[in-house]
Amino acid sequence: MKIDKRDALKRIARVGVATAASTVLMACSPSTKSPKFQGVDVTGAEYARDFALPDQDGKMRSMKDFAGKVVVVFFGYTQCPDVCPTTMSELAEVKRSLGEDGKRLQGIFITVDPARDTPEVLKAYMANFDPSFVGLTGTPEQLAAVAKDFKIYYKKVDGKTPTSYTMDHSAASFIFDPKGNVRVYSRYGSGAQALQSDVKALLAG
């Protein structure tokens, strides 16, 4: 079959233009590559956006106070027998393992038991793990609003006496990047190594 030379040249030109346009688009488009996390990647989530609660010293805190740091947020209560101390211990372990970079990791503990977790109790509890960790409290209404935004479940379970109750609660941590965006949902039981991997990925930016 005879191919018209002019048609062939036109086809070559069209291919060249398309290829050039594709190259320009690739060069100008922002990189969509995201780190491979050990936890659940929740980048772009429209929940777990922020909090505005007083800390153990009575100072109001929000995500903007920790700009430039990777922030790990966990909801729990100080009389929790297992999940809470395990999670906070792992977080403290990760902070120590990072050396100088540990200064760029911030642990945040939000109580779901404000009746017993007074500022004084929270301060002592944080000191058990790392003095730089921040404990947040608030009114029942304030805490309920923040928990709702983070999709956290918690419920009081009555004990034998009025003060011996326990709290059922979600047992995961939320990891924010240095820009204050939630990036990872870290399930309880994943271990310190998985947490360290995700924190390092976000510190590397």
CA 167 to chain centre: 22
Half-sphere exposure of 18 (CA within 13 A, CB side): 6
- Return the structure tokens found at 16: 């060249």
pTM greater than 0.85: no
At 175-190, the pLDDT tens digits run: 999 999 999 999 999 9
Residue 5: predicted pLDDT: 47
What is the tens place of the pLDDT at every residue in 23-41? 434 444 444 467 899 999 9
Please tell me whether 28 is known to bind a ligand.
Answer: no
Residue 194 annotated in ligand binding: no
Is residue 135 within 8 A of residue 125, CB to CB? The reply is yes
43 is in an annotated binding site: no
| 151: DSSP letter | T
Mean pLDDT of the chain: 88
pLDDT value of residue 11: 53
CA distance 15 to 105: 50
Taking 70 as the pLDDT cut, the residues of the chain under it are 1-33
Burial class (CB in 10 A: 0-12, 13-18, 19+), 34: exposed
* 3 state DSSP class of 159: coil
User: Is 40-204 a domain of CATH 3.30.70.600?
Assistant: no
DSSP collapsed to 3 states, 112-141: CCCCCCCHHHHHHHHHCCCCCCEEECCCHH
For the chain, the domains span 1-30, 40-204
State residue 35's pLDDT score: 83
Q: What is the pLDDT of residue 15?
A: 44
